[in-house]
Amino acid sequence: MSDRVVITGIGMITSVGNDRETTWNAVRSGHSGVRKVTGMDCIPDGMLLGATVQGLAMEAGETRYAPLALQAAEEAIHDSQLDLRTVDHLRFSCSIAPHIGDTPGIAGRRTKDLPPGSFEPWWNRFLPNSTCSLVARRFALHGPRFCQSAACASGTISTLGAYRAIQDDQCDLALAGSTQMIAPLLAAGFHSMRVLAKHDDPTKACRPFDVNRSGFVMGEGAAMLILERLSHAHRRRAPIYAEIVGGRILCEAHHVTGLDSNSQTLYRLIDTTLQCSGLGPSDVSYINAHGTGTKQNDVMETRGIRAALGKAANSVCVSSTKSMLGHLLNAAGSVELAITALALRDGFAPPTLNLTDPDPECDLDCLPLVGRSQKFEHAMKLSIAFGGHLAAIVLRRWSGAGERRAFHPLQKAA
């Protein structure tokens, strides 16, 4: 653990943009990607709302997981200015969260439908680690490979796994992230649980911290981050977004889908994350919350933040970008961590869309409707998942050699 770890590349594709800067500019301006979803088994057309990715280039027979992940990975590698011809591939890790298999695709594909002489392995559609393996093969990443399943905390924990692999000297670089499509099986399950939001205007359905919230909205997309040992990044003069200064994982052994209303585990998670980062409660200026828009999550998260930060909670900016991008489930942590890094780079805390009538129990500064320009040094990403998986990561804005210039909407994305 003798070297620091930094983020040198970001790739992203979401419902509001097919690349990093387009997505970020849409989030900054409070643009929603939520729309009505059709063609889902067991759910009548028009009843399901989702933040779907539009115009995704796909090959015949391919699931959406693969092109989402590959596009984000290619952008992250390009953004980091890595020359894969000169990298030690044995020291390049791949840490990509798993996903639910494409069961309808498997059921719908029959041998007689395939061209003569072709063979489509079943595992390309079913195995949860198939996308992780595909990305690692595509870029010849021969370092440690991780595929950690932790529900909606998977993307955050995948990043922490890569971070620790670099600290443990197992590798110098890592491609870390996650991907998510709106799969019929997932949609049907959440629909039957009655946890999905409804609204006549899809863009107003997801309302984190609002008294009129009714549930979450599913989203899809992917985000990939290039994590790198600081000395390695400096040697190749790589541009740097932020430094990962600490992170922790805890389990709320309470209920599979229910949350502990006392927020004791979340309090301990935030507190221990600050301690391992060498920070105090007043050092974190922005928190990208899990913020699902469910009554249980939003109140519990507010209580946990207040318990951990004390009086400093009154001055911290908190927002939920799920209000615009939907809940990307496995990919939520990665996408939201990428947005947190961009918020640090540009000194801008993104808004919580649709927060027109704040719940009195959610009494933090949740940046309703409009974001805030504010140069801050530290930011935290929180993830709270089914099964009791809790994770947090703290980032520090990078200044000095390799500092990224703030991006403005009129500039052309790299």
Q: Which residues of 43-60 are buried (b: 16+ CB within 10 A; e: fewer)?
A: beeeebbbbbbeebeeee
Burial of 254 (0-12, 13-18, 19+ CB in 10 A): middle
Q: Name the packing angle between helices 332-346 and 154-167 (round to 10°).
A: 70
CA angle at 250 for the pair 214 and 126, rounded to the nearest 5°: 70
Length of the chain: 414
Catalytic residue among 327, 362, 366, 389: 327
Residue 78 designated active-site: no
Which region, left, alpha or beta, applies to residue 194 given φ > 0 means left and ψ of -120 to 50 means alpha? Answer: left
Catalytic status, residue 142: no
**278 class by beta-carbon count within 10 Å (0-12 exposed, 13-18 middle, 19+ buried):** exposed
Q: Give the closest residue to 130 by CA, choosing from 90, 165, 102.
A: 102
Is-catalytic flag, 327? yes
239, 241, 244, 245 alpha-carbon torsion, rounded to 10°: 100
DSSP for 356-379? SSB-TT--SB--BSS-EE---SEE
Say how far apart CA 187 and CA 217 lie, in whole Å: 10
Q: First-to-last CA distance in the chain? A: 32
Cα–Cα distance for residue pair 239/249, rounded to 1 Å: 28
In three-state secondary structure terms, 193 is helix
| Beta partners for residue 223, in sequence order | 12, 178
Q: Residue 113: CB partners within 8 Å, gap ≥ 6?
A: none
SS (HEC) of 244-302: EEEEEEEECCCCCCCCCCCCHHHHHHHHHHHHHCCCCHHHCCEEECCCCCCHHHHHHHH
User: Catalytic one among 94, 132, 147, 152?
Assistant: 152
What does the radius of gyration of the chain's CA atoms come to, in whole angstroms? 20
The catalytic position among 232, 290, 378, 389 is 290
In Å, how far are 116, 166, 255 from 361, measured between CA atoms? Answer: 62, 40, 22
Report, as residue numbers or ranges, the catalytic residues.
152, 290, 327
